[in-house]
Structure 1
Amino acid sequence: MTSAHESVERALEKRLVGSGTFFSEDEQLNDLLSLQYRLHYHTLGSASNLDQKVAEILLKDCKRVERSLSGLKEKIWRNIAGILYFYLSNIDKATEQLKLARQITYDHKAFDAFYTFLNVENLYYRILLSESPKELLLRDISKVAEHIPRDSNAIAFHYLDSIASRVPVHWGDAAGKLHSTPLACYLAICTDYRNHDAELLKVGGALLKEAKFPKADESNHELLEEFHVALRFYLERVEGDISLEWNNFIISSMAKTFQSMNVAKTAMVYFSRVGKHEESILNFVNFLNYNDNYRHLNEGKYFDIISVLHSYHYVIEYCSGHEIQEVYSVAKTIQEMELLLKYFYDQYSFPLLDKDNCLDWLSNSIKLKLSSRVAAILGNSWAVIYRHYKDDLVKLINDDLCFYLSNSLVANPGCAQTKFEYAYTLATKREINFAKKYIKMAILEVEPNDYRAWHLLALCESVEEQKDVAFKIVCSVLQGMNEALTNGTLTSTEDRWQFIFMKLTQLSLLEDMFGVRDALELLPELFEVYKALFQTGEKHNYNLGTAYNQSIEYLHQFVWLFASKLYDAAGNLKEAKEALHESIAVTRTFKNLNNNLANGYLLLKTNHKKALTEFETVFYYDQLNTDAIVGFARLLNPEEPASSNHVLKASEREEKKENAFYGDGDKSAAYGRLKLMLEEAIEKSIDAHFSPEIWWHLSKIYEKFGDTERLEIALWNCIKYEELQPIRHFKNCHVFRSSSKT
């Protein structure tokens, strides 16, 4: 194969994925592909008509291309011309050009996938022009597309999905005029994917009977391979229980194929759906091995690189928490996935938003027009990497987290979850102005009822010395949420949780602006709202997920612990203890370390030894817990009460004589331990690194040890992060339901 031919094949491969940059040795082809990309930029995935002025400009550019075209280039040109005439409402010319394009047949087998795309695109627009679209589809679909395209043939897939969306293919159609081919099954799945195991098992069973294990010079049964592609899409989409007969079908398919990537991937999806995560992972590993073997035999080329990226994202997301020693580790898989993503962007000339520009997405974002399938896969892939590293302080400070999220948004800018995570990450990094700008312009302008975004914005505004703006936001949003609750439109569990967290922020702002007494006056309202949101006795699951901190019991404890903290701030130690006991009494099914922390802080006023025991309990489970470290530090650097609200009874103050440490030697060792804990915390914990109190206690340690250089750094950081401290942790607005499937 000549270099010129290879460069053409490569350009077509890039165009199929969705790239708009081409370097083939055929300049005329490059021009046509670029023109096609410009057209798709305005029409791909768009529900609205192409703007008339844009269409006219594109048509002029189309006419400038030399007309002495033949074969593939002529087919591209006539499709473009036909589509532009369609959007310009010149039906006769559109029909003529699409008809002429359809008549141009293959001139090279290597271009088969691209011809299929052009034919499917052509059929889509002919359907739009037709008075009998269903009849046209059933007549021509098998002529223009014999097989389901690979994921990397993304634009062909886009038009196939668009056809299915425009003209429903029912299961009767698939079994009748379309003869139950895998492609027919796929189109029927697009129309209706609910509980059609019986129909698919019948088709798959017939293909399985035809299939035989291939000889050395044979390939796997083509239709059985393709059926597994359709089956995988079905298994990914269908909700509820799926037939257990698929287990035997998949095992039998493995027995009749040799290193089938399609069968392995179907098995990966199926076993994750039925909760057999280790088997799912093992099939993912097999899938990668088969891909490696294919690349070894095909000069390093991937059979379907988009499918590989999807598999990485799928297994990481849906088999989270599961590893197989010496076979599969999440950390290694994440690293491989990131390398593959960067390789993909480089090979297919997709631009990456670099770290220097990733903090201001609105100003620096790259416009990338992709099919919905590729957009989702790339967007989810970057997002999955972010979620793996989201608690990594180094990656936060070095802008790796913003890099992952900003490129996820470039690929899939409409994903609400990623948009929020991006704003949340900016806020966590204390890029407050960038965060506020993005929340206002990218989230709230699109979805004005995004309560968690409003909450995050209020927390960002609370960084300011004057809290008026933050307070107005919170009060306004709470009023809207209360009206929604009254009207019965506040239905989601996430929004109900967010209501409570927003109410807690309101009380915190009241305490800061007007004093703790004013906050305490509204405390009964908090419990009334909680009761209205989460009525007992209802058959309703108010949990956000399976983790203990996503349970309604955890939220109930959170409310009581907040009340305990308010009472403590007001000097009402008795009420603070009672609220703590209410929290503990909520449930015994899990251990909530926040109860230990709250008790430890109360005991700082009365019994240092018992307080230390509570903090040590927390350290046993979480060595970098910021609140426990601060509590431990206060034992060594006790502070005088800040106001009369903290005055204790004489009997309570006397208990302080029972010190937490035995003599100077024990206390000196404790100082050394505290130094190590503080230094480790600021290097590894996001909460600790941005905590002014952690830096203040570290400065006291450096002062004690005479380390003036690091003392100055610690004090500067203490001041800097105090000025950037929100009224409550940003994580208090990060309420979302667990998305993992079992």
Structure 2
Amino acid sequence: MIIDNSINEKYIRTLAFGCFPKNVLEFQESQDFFQQMIFIDYQKQLIIKEEHHNNDLFIPESKQKINQLIQYTNSITLNYENTEKSFEELLYYVVLLAHLYYLTGQVDFMTDVLNSISVPYSINEANLTSMTKNQIELVEYLHCKYHMLLGLVHENGFAIWLEYLSHFSKPFTKSQVIANHWLELLDLKLAESISQSITFDQVKRLSFFTNEISTIQFCNFLIRPENIDMADSQFKLEYTTFLVSQIEANIKRSVIFPNAMNSNDSTINNFINNLYESLSYVPFNLAIVKPTVSKRYLIDATSKTYQSKVVLSNLIYTLIDLNEYDEAFVAFKTYIEYLATEEQLSGHIDDILSIIDTFSTCIIHFNPIKSFKNEQKFKHTPDSMVEADLKVFTDKLLFYLNKLQEFIDLTYDESDTENDLSFLYRKYNPNILQTDNSQLIELIAKAWYSIGYYYSFVCMYDSVDETTMKQNVTKVLKNYKNSLIINSTGNILYLHSYALALANSQANKSALKLCKFILKKYPESFKTWNLLVLLLTSSEIDNPDTSKPDTTKLRDSEDFINKALNIAGLFIMKHQEKDIKLSFIEKTEILELKLTQLAVLESIYGLNYMMEYLNEVFILYHELFDVEFDTPARQQRDSARQFGSSARWSHRPSFIDPSNLPHKDVTKSRSPILDPLTTASNVVKAQTVNKLKRLSKIGRTQTRSSVVSTSRKSDNIKDRKLLQGLWLWTSRVFIRAGMLDEAEQCIVEAEAIYKPNIKTFTALGYLTSKTRKFLALQEFERSLEQVDKYNKQDLGWTLLGMAKLIFIDDITDNSLFISDKDLNGGIIRMKNLLENFTLSWPCGSNSSEVWYYLSKIYEIIDDKIMLDKSLWKCVELEDIRPVRSFSCDS
């Protein structure tokens, strides 16, 4: 970094971000004129935040505090009347005092102050040569604010704003936060001065229309959601046509490729930065400039610019939008090289917010949880390479965040002993007066979240030992908390992610408080309602007040889940009335609420009571999802009972092929643990099963044989997978009730809805664990062979089934193992599999069943130390176990 050539250089840099120095209150006693102005500016913004609803142009009825600040400013000015001031100091004083006068309605005084200094529309480049970069950005901000305020009081203010935009040749960067804010205010006032419903033809007639920079940023401002009433209905369409034509013209324009010594990048960089930066505030902006068009344009721009990070960063975003992750990955690594070269040559970090945004976006999207787990978005790059580079990217982002912390005097936790929810009670950064919805706050919070998200991946998939895993969990919590220290209310994703991480770290009280806080601001966050209820159930296990059902009042968990479902019902109705479709995530979260309700009912009233409500799950599914249930004929693939019988299984030498064994009649040899409960009503059960079977036929209008190509293409695969999961969940309910035939029928339905997979294999393994244990072992082995490394939930379910089969269901008569040596090998194998699984947080390390089966293994191998540890861990987890996993993956 270049050594500051002014005592106020670092404060100037802080102001550019719309922030103030941490020690700003001390400036009241300062002998430096500029520092006194910073103090006054801070007091003014504090009043605007507290009394003016964060509106810089709102004039309140009570003006006492502002008048006092004006008096203080005038007295300070008299003290420095004979002191020589730089141009930027004088300009800062003028716009500050003029703004204060405007807030009190003293227009005449405001006019006199603004007229006391001559500020041309174009900044004289010669005057900037002696200034530092930070000083130049300060002047650019004050220059914009000056003309904005001048237009408010001038009789021909409209012309002043037009003239300013006509001369606006260099767009502000993302890091020029306060300058961008005042440019938006100028756009707002200009738009209000034109008409109530602006047409694109009107914009064409404005004097600045020939200036592409001003025209594009102004039009992008008009198509933001908050400004939708300012432009007419055809504006967006006509502007899109114009914009695409400008981009196509730029592609066709011939430009000589520059070199490092003779670069003509500025025109191209300015156009691209202005276009994509101003467009980033517009939701669904891909419909305006299609990613394919952007890709052509930006690739063309790389051939006309020299190592342009502006071009490359926007190309990275575009490639991610196109799901071209391999190309984006390579481009991002090149981008990092450009940054290193630029910082080495210039000695400073340019536009740090843009850098941080690019890093955090790439880290989030390249995270294997998003790029490999459910859909492999990298086609040619191995996940091992992505994982290795992600660590480098994260460390580099942390470096930039630390630099930003220096630039704007940010404060985070000073120690790890701070309260988990201290950000709810303590204002960490009173020097930042921007709202949680501002872009600055959102970008910083997003960066911390991306790091926490990365470490959540490491905790789940890449911890080499227990110590490392615990360290990574600490990093998850720390980085998620940092995102909330910066932005404590503005983003439900960050809030819920931290609450879930707290719950998975056994900090249930903190997680519960945070959930209640979240729901006050986001009452329609159904995943938070779900987590809240599950946290309540975890505290009801050993509570004597909730040990028996109370006929006079509901438990908290039952009460809250009912409230959540009522809100969900209203949410669905509201969207239906407005003809708005719910997203897949919203539908899934509502469905998860229903499953949680049934789990709560089972924990309070028992399994039989809960089973009376099974049909409601499928009714809700059909209400939420539109899936045709025309499925291939059963004979086109093996049924549940036929798995493994049509062909010999490639098995380990010590296991007996199940096709060679006489199969017992399942209905005659049920395990005692699968027998129907003595209190069960077989009539009720039969009615429940019949209802489910009727529901399973809803929408089946074609014959079974008419199926495959049409329905599979038209139906959403995600919807089918979800329905398959519901049938498998139902099969587990029937298994617990001892209704094995009904459980098998559910598995058959699951196969019909979506192709057989490790979920159905494992379900069959559980079904046959007691009665056909060799088939069960085959299915569990089949699952282990096919399970994806990122599918920890299904891996855990399979491992628990196999452990149950070996340590509980297997008996010496006709054992799975042909010798003691074979048995010992199986035990050691299970030990290794389960121990590795405990290094996966939270699904493995927080599973009481995993620790229980490990304790049985340690007991067999006589490892007393590990036996003691695993038993205590099992008891600890059981004491706070919710009725479902917090992630709702059970």
Using structure 2 for the length normalisation, give the TM-score.
Answer: 0.72
> Match of 2:286, SS?
coil
Q: 1:262 aligns with which of 270, 294, 310?
A: 310
Native 8 Å contact 2:727 2:749 kept in 1: yes
> Larger deviation: 53-62 or 495-504?
53-62
Q: 2:774 aligns with which of 609, 618, 622?
A: 609
Native 8 Å contact 1:635 1:660 kept in 2: no
> Larger deviation: 243-252 or 14-23?
243-252
* CA apart distance, 1:402: 2.0
* CA apart distance, 1:575: 1.0
Letter in 1 for 2:90: E
Is 1:181–2:348 an aligned residue pair? Answer: no
Q: 1:228 aligns with which of 265, 272, 289?
A: 272
Distance in structure 1 (CA, Å) of the matches to 2:69 and 2:824: 77
Native 8 Å contact 2:764 2:779 kept in 1: yes
> Larger deviation: 169-178 or 216-225?
169-178
Is 1:312–2:328 an aligned residue pair? Answer: no
Q: 2:853 aligns with which of 697, 702, 713?
A: 697
Provide the residue aligned with 2:447 in structure 1.
381
Letter in 1 for 2:405: Y
Q: 1:74 aligns with which of 66, 76, 90?
A: 90
Q: 2:54 aligns with which of 46, 51, 60?
A: 46
Is 1:14–2:14 an aligned residue pair? Answer: yes
| C-alpha distance after superposition, 1:5-55 (max 9, x if no partner) | 344333312321244227999844334334434544564793484875664
| C-alpha distance after superposition, 1:127-159 (max 9, x if no partner) | 55567654432123345x441112222211222
Distance in structure 1 (CA, Å) of the matches to 2:623 and 2:780: 35
Provide the residue aligned with 1:559 in structure 2.
726
* CA apart distance, 1:389: 2.7
Provide the residue aligned with 2:591 in structure 1.
500
Q: 1:669 aligns with which of 825, 828, 839?
A: 825
Provide the residue aligned with 2:243 in structure 1.
200
Provide the residue aligned with 1:738 in structure 2.
none
Is 1:286–2:334 an aligned residue pair? Answer: yes
* CA apart distance, 1:602: 1.8
Q: 1:140 aligns with which of 164, 167, 186?
A: 164
Distance in structure 2 (CA, Å) of the matches to 1:656 and 1:533: 49
Native 8 Å contact 1:50 1:87 kept in 2: yes
Cα RMSD (Å): 3.6
Provide the residue aligned with 2:298 in structure 1.
250
Distance in structure 2 (CA, Å) of the matches to 1:346 and 1:459: 41
Q: 1:83 aligns with which of 85, 96, 99?
A: 99
Distance in structure 1 (CA, Å) of the matches to 2:470 and 2:97: 48
Native 8 Å contact 2:455 2:473 kept in 1: no
Q: Which runs of structure 2 are paired with 1:343-742 in the superposition (5 Å)?
A: 343-353=403-413, 355-357=416-418, 359-360=420-421, 361-364=423-426, 366-367=428-429, 368-370=432-434, 372-393=438-459, 394=469, 398-413=473-488, 414-441=490-517, 443-465=518-540, 466=546, 468-486=555-573, 488=576, 491-493=581-583, 494-536=585-627, 551-588=718-755, 592-620=757-785, 621-622=787-788, 625-638=795-808, 657-732=813-888
Native 8 Å contact 1:220 1:257 kept in 2: yes
| C-alpha distance after superposition, 1:417-459 (max 9, x if no partner) | 2122122221222211111111212x11112232222121111
Q: Report sequence identity in percent.
A: 20
Cα 1:582–1:216, aligned 2, differ >3 Å: closer, same or farther?
Answer: closer
Native 8 Å contact 2:364 2:453 kept in 1: no
Distance in structure 2 (CA, Å) of the matches to 1:102 and 1:682: 70
Using structure 1 for the length normalisation, give the TM-score.
Answer: 0.85
Aligned residues: 707
Provide the residue aligned with 1:542 in structure 2.
none
> Match of 1:732, SS?
coil
Provide the residue aligned with 1:645 in structure 2.
none
| C-alpha distance after superposition, 1:155-204 (max 9, x if no partner) | 11222233334433975536741122323322222223856454335545
Bigger radius of gyration:
2
Provide the residue aligned with 1:151 in structure 2.
174
Native 8 Å contact 1:310 1:381 kept in 2: yes
* CA apart distance, 1:215: 6.4
| C-alpha distance after superposition, 1:533-580 (max 9, x if no partner) | 224469xxxxxxx9x998111211122122112111111111111112
* CA apart distance, 1:242: 1.9
> Match of 2:881, SS?
coil
* CA apart distance, 1:497: 1.9
Cα 1:148–1:678, aligned 2, differ >3 Å: closer, same or farther?
Answer: same
Provide the residue aligned with 1:113 in structure 2.
137
Cα 1:253–1:521, aligned 2, differ >3 Å: closer, same or farther?
Answer: closer
Distance in structure 1 (CA, Å) of the matches to 2:735 and 2:2: 80
Provide the residue aligned with 2:34 in structure 1.
29
Native 8 Å contact 1:698 1:714 kept in 2: yes
Cα 1:166–1:435, aligned 2, differ >3 Å: closer, same or farther?
Answer: farther
Distance in structure 2 (CA, Å) of the matches to 1:728 and 1:396: 26
Distance in structure 2 (CA, Å) of the matches to 1:198 and 1:710: 69
Letter in 2 for 1:583: A
Letter in 2 for 1:184: T
Distance in structure 1 (CA, Å) of the matches to 2:765 and 2:596: 23
> Larger deviation: 317-326 or 84-93?
317-326
Letter in 1 for 2:242: E
Cα 1:313–1:500, aligned 2, differ >3 Å: closer, same or farther?
Answer: same
| C-alpha distance after superposition, 1:480-524 (max 9, x if no partner) | 323444563584233322222111111111111111110111112
Distance in structure 2 (CA, Å) of the matches to 1:427 and 1:135: 58
| C-alpha distance after superposition, 1:264-285 (max 9, x if no partner) | 2333334444444433344333
Letter in 2 for 1:407: N
Provide the residue aligned with 2:649 in structure 1.
none
Is 1:167–2:190 an aligned residue pair? Answer: yes
Q: 2:345 aligns with which of 297, 305, 308?
A: 297
* CA apart distance, 1:315: 3.1
Native 8 Å contact 1:211 1:224 kept in 2: no
Native 8 Å contact 1:147 1:183 kept in 2: no
Distance in structure 1 (CA, Å) of the matches to 2:72 and 2:363: 45
> Larger deviation: 558-567 or 40-49?
40-49
> Match of 1:366, SS?
coil
Cα 1:534–1:251, aligned 2, differ >3 Å: closer, same or farther?
Answer: closer
| Structure 1 unaligned blocks of 5 or more | 539-545, 640-652, 735-742
Native 8 Å contact 1:397 1:429 kept in 2: no
| Structure 2 unaligned blocks of 5 or more | 192-197, 225-235, 372-376, 460-468, 541-545, 547-553, 630-712
Distance in structure 2 (CA, Å) of the matches to 1:9 and 1:246: 38
| C-alpha distance after superposition, 1:600-649 (max 9, x if no partner) | 2222221222222222223221576222222222233217xxxxxxxxxx
Distance in structure 2 (CA, Å) of the matches to 1:656 and 1:512: 34
